[in-house]
Chains A and B, each alone.
Chain A
Amino acid sequence: MLSTRDLVLCALFAALLGGLGMAPPIPLGFLPVPVTAQTLGVMLAGTILGAKRGGLAALLFVLLVAAGLPLLAGGRGGIGVLMGPTGGFVLSWPLGAFVTGWLAERFATGANPLRLFAVSVAGGILMVYACGIPWLSLVAGLSLEKAAFGTLAFVPGDLIKAGVAAFAASAVRRAGVLPIHA
């Protein structure tokens, strides 16, 4: 059962995803594309809130995007974006946050950044790509291999985000602000 605090935490993390979409992207000198931090928020929802609450937070966010709030990076939103070529990458966020959280609850309960990095990669990158690539292939009429090839450009940025998510989650856990599996 979700406590009042759980409801508030889910809503806050869903709103964090929206707030990150509104902020201008962060330039990282050595990468060609600026990093939008929303998928980082998905990983953090999983590692900080756990499977159920993290997945719920990302679900609330996706529902509000579908409802027509311009919350995705660049002020995009609406059902059209979700049905578009990159829609699968956003629709998979609830699953991505859930998987990150599920793995974190089993294999990364401490503040070890390497373990947190591994679960963030598994949930926030592998799971998201596993949904996004078939969707892209379907919508754009591409073969799976070509769709996968097209997304390779985003892998370095996503790995950096998983690193930052692991570092931040580890710092928060060490600080003991939140009992992780309360």
Chain B
Amino acid sequence: MLGLYLHRDSAIHRLPAGVKMGGLLLLTLVVLALPGGWGALAAGLAGAGVLVAAKLPAGRVLRELRSPVVMLTLLFGFQALLAGTGWEDTAIAVARFAALILLATLVTLTTRVMDMVELFERLFARLRPLGVNPAKMALMLALTIRFIPLLGDQVREVRMAQRARGVERNIAALFVPLLVKILTMADDLTAALEARGYDPADPGPEPGPHR
């Protein structure tokens, strides 16, 4: 299943997902802690630096940013027109988040989905004392990735059937058959997993170094 990942041969792409996520978290905290527009400026420069270092096409990155930026600009205009006062603070707030969204988008574009999922799994292993079962979380994530195209097909199929019957505008007519299908699929998939020897009581492998 394809993600938003954009492959390039760069040092940024090769950085482990954990480093990139940690860096993003740290920069976010720094930007929010810095007073005024300095945080936005620092994050914006960092973003531009990463963009160049990762050899990503600027047009593609800006396309990802378009909808949040349009929305922030609209809100900003609305605010400046109606509120009159305090528009500088609003401009700074918007610039800060626009810069952070740029950084976050860059992390997504340079990190493979499976590397990110693996990072989540390592984090779940840390949460074991809180009652989180990392093996089950990992299995559910893998199953979900497998089921998404399946469910996409189901949604399309049911909608096509409803269109043929002339009830495509009735969302209720979509959801009832869809839910019944999902619930019967659950029975088959459960049987398939158990037939392959899956035992939910098995605690799974002990946490250890990945790979």
Contacts and interface: CB of A to CB of B under 8 A. Distances in A.
A15 to B, nearest CB: 3
B27 to A, nearest CB: 11
16 contacts: A7-B143, A8-B186, A11-B140, A12-B182, A15-B147, A22-B155, A23-B155, A26-B174, A28-B171, A78-B109, A80-B64, A85-B97, A139-B72, A167-B172, A172-B176, A177-B183
B161 interface: no
Contacts of A27: 169
Nearest to B123: A63
Interface residues of A, number: 69
A67 B3 contact: yes
B190 A11 contact: no
Nearest to A13: B182
B152 A67 contact: no
B116 A67 contact: yes
Interface stretch (A68-76, A115-123, A124-132): A68-76
Interface in A60-119: 60-61, 63-64, 66-71, 74, 76-86
Contacts of A16: 151, 155, 178, 182
B200 interface: yes
A42 interface: no
A155 interface: no
Interface of A: 1-5, 7-16, 18-20, 22-23, 26-29, 35, 37, 40, 44, 48, 56, 60-61, 63-64, 66-71, 74, 76-86, 139-142, 146, 150, 160-161, 164-165, 167-168, 171-172, 175, 177-178
Given A3-B200, A26-B171, A85-B72, A19 B24 contact: no
Nearest to B1: A69
Interface stretch (B7-15, B50-58, B99-107): B99-107
Main secondary structure of the interface of B (DSSP, over half): helix
A140 B90 CA distance: 7
Interface string B164-195: 00001101101110111011111101100110
Main secondary structure of the interface of A (DSSP, over half): helix
A12 B151 contact: yes
B186 A12 contact: yes
Range of interface residues on chain B?
Answer: 35 or more
B148 A15 contact: yes
Interface of B: 1, 3-5, 24, 28, 64-65, 67-68, 71-72, 75-76, 78-79, 82, 89-94, 97, 100-102, 104-105, 107-109, 111-113, 116-117, 120, 133, 136, 139-141, 143-148, 150-156, 159, 168-169, 171-172, 174-176, 178-180, 182-187, 189-190, 193-194, 198, 200-201
Contacts of A4: 190, 193-194, 198, 200
A12 B179 contact: no
Contacts of A5: 186-187, 190
